[in-house]
Amino acid sequence: MALYSSPAIAALSVTPLFMLTGLELSLYPGALGFSTLIVLVVWAINIGLYTLAGSKNWRYSVSGLICVLLAVGFIHAIFKPLPGWRFGSWSAGAHLHLIIFLSVDMVIIILQDLTVVREKKAAMEIENAQLRLRNAEAMNLQLMQQVQPHFLFNSLSTLKSLIGISPEQASEYLVRLSGFLRASLASHTARIVRVAEELELCSDYLEMQRMRFGKALDFSIGVPAEVRESGYLPVFSLQLLIENAIKHNILTPARPLSVSVVYRDGWIAVSNNLQRKQSGVESAGMGLANLRERYRGLSGDEVRIEETGDSFSVYIKVLAHEHSDH
């Protein structure tokens, strides 16, 4: 703030002098450069006072007193060589210099306080975002603890049914279930994971659901290899969106549900054909609201939702690195 405001303040203080006193314009560049240096000195004084006193009001008086002394010294040095000039005389615009010094000091104090307020506000916003993120993570953990027993019960019931019908398919289902639970435990305390890890989790989950629902569920995953390895996502973000699609839509062989996971210009979209259940599970929106809060804390991005008459899509941003922190 001091560096880029000093030339502007110097120009505003020097220009009236040239307009009122009729000085030669050839002197203007030198006067502007010298005035910029003076303004930087006043900035340094006020920054030093704030460092020592913080927001205490007495620093305003001290700053004004120092500027008066600087102005008197400046006037004495400039006008004393003039014939017939005395320190007590206010001729030759000496009073204007004093007014300009005090005005510059007031402008700098105002800019400094505005900058401090802005920085404090930014710090509070970051702190609030961190609090929201911690709250969202706590909610996420609570949701996981609520979902896991229900999910495990359904999975064991499906496994029991498959053992009697198709032992080979039951064996594959068990492998998928083992991989899903292992990934769940490994990511239990993580905030974000690589896209590849999240997609592996989703793949296991979708394969298990396809074994459960048969031809009533179809899915596809289209994410480039470089995005899988270089990008990051909040843990269980895609899995949550896929689970919501299965949970809130009709799945029958006559009306199959089609789920796709596609990468588009820095975003991953989870889309499904829209065929909402008319009754049954009522959505409270907790999972999606939780995901929104996690994204606000991690990257500041919003979760985009697009709905048409026959499709529903949720877009989430691929994070650039594993330490993403808005």
Evaluate whether residue 139 is within a structural domain: no
Q: What is the mean pLDDT of residues 218-232?
A: 92
Q: Does 36 lie in the same domain as 179?
A: no
Residues 101-135, buried b or exposed e (16+ Cβ, 10 A)?
A: beebbebbbebbeeeeeeeeeeeeeeeebeeebee
Answer for the pair 267, 106: CB distance below 8 angstroms, yes or no: no
Residue with the bigger pLDDT between 289 and 80: it is 289
Same domain, 186 and 256: yes
Q: Please tell me whether residues 118 and 206 are part of one structural domain.
A: no
Q: How many distinct structural domains can be found in the chain?
A: 2
CA R_g for the chain = 34
The pTM (predicted TM-score) of the whole model is: 0.54
Q: At a CB cut-off of 8 Å and minimum separation 6, what does 10 contact?
A: 32, 35, 36, 38, 39
- 187 with 108, same domain: the answer is no
Of the ranges 99-108, 256-265, 294-303, the best mean pLDDT one = 256-265
Which pLDDT score, from 0 to 100, does residue 24 have? 80
In this prediction, residues 148-157 reach a mean pLDDT of 68
Which of 122, 154, 186 represents a domain boundary (last residue)? 122
In the predicted model, what is the mean pLDDT of residues 110-132?
85
Q: What is the span of the domain harbouring residue 175? A: 166-317
Domain annotation covers residue 149 = no
pLDDT at 143: 53
Let me know whether 217 and 117 are in one domain. Answer: no
User: Would you say residue 285 lies in a domain?
Assistant: yes
Pair (11, 103) in one structural domain = yes
Quick one: average pLDDT of 219-231? 92
Top-confidence range, 134-143, 153-162, 227-236: 227-236
Residue 85 is predicted with a pLDDT of 44
In order of 8, 30, 191, the CA distances from 67 in angstroms are 19, 22, 53
User: Mean pLDDT, to the nearest integer, of 55-84?
Assistant: 74
Q: What is the pLDDT of residue 103?
A: 86
Regarding whether 308 and 203 lie in a shared domain, the answer is yes
Q: Does 309 share its domain with 195?
A: yes
Quick one: pLDDT at residue 263?
A: 94
Query: For 272, phi and psi rounded to 5 degrees?
Result: -150, 155
Given a cut of 50, whether residue 203 has pLDDT beyond it is yes
Mind giving me the DSSP string for 76-136?
Answer: HHHHTTSTT--TT---TTHHHHHHHHHHHHHHHHHHHHHHHHHHHHHHHHHHHHHHHHHHH
When pLDDT is averaged across residues 92-119 and rounded to a whole number, the result is 82
Model pLDDT for residues 233-252, shown as the tens digit of each residue: 988 889 889 988 988 899 89
In tens, the pLDDT along 251-266 reads: 899 999 999 999 999 9
Are 313 and 187 part of one and the same domain?
Answer: yes
Tell me, yes or no, whether 63 lies in a domain: yes
Return all residues near 28 (Cβ < 8 A) that are at least 6 apart: 14, 18
What is the model's pLDDT at position 88?
46
Residue 190 is predicted with a pLDDT of 65
Q: What is the pLDDT of residues 19-39, one digit of tens each?
A: 776 778 888 888 889 889 989
- Domain membership flag for residue 147: no
Mean pLDDT of 222-236: 91
- Are 311 and 205 members of one domain? yes
The mean predicted confidence, pLDDT, of the chain is 80
Is position 64 within any domain? yes
pLDDT band at 220 (very low <50, low <70, confident <90, very high): very high
Q: What is the mean pLDDT of residues 57-83?
A: 74
238 contact partners, CB below 8 Å, separation of at least 6? 198, 199, 201, 202, 261, 268, 270, 316
CATH number (domain holding residue 282): 3.30.565
The residue that leads in pLDDT, 284 or 305, is 305
Residue 157: inside a domain = no
pLDDT at 284: 46
Confidence category of residue 87, pLDDT binned at 50, 70, 90: very low
User: Among the listed ranges 4-13, 54-63, 103-112, which one has the minimum average pLDDT value?
Assistant: 54-63
Residue 81 sits in the same domain as residue 26? yes
196 and 305 assigned to the same domain: yes
User: Is residue 128 a part of any domain in this protein?
Assistant: no
pLDDT greater at residue 121 or residue 153: 121
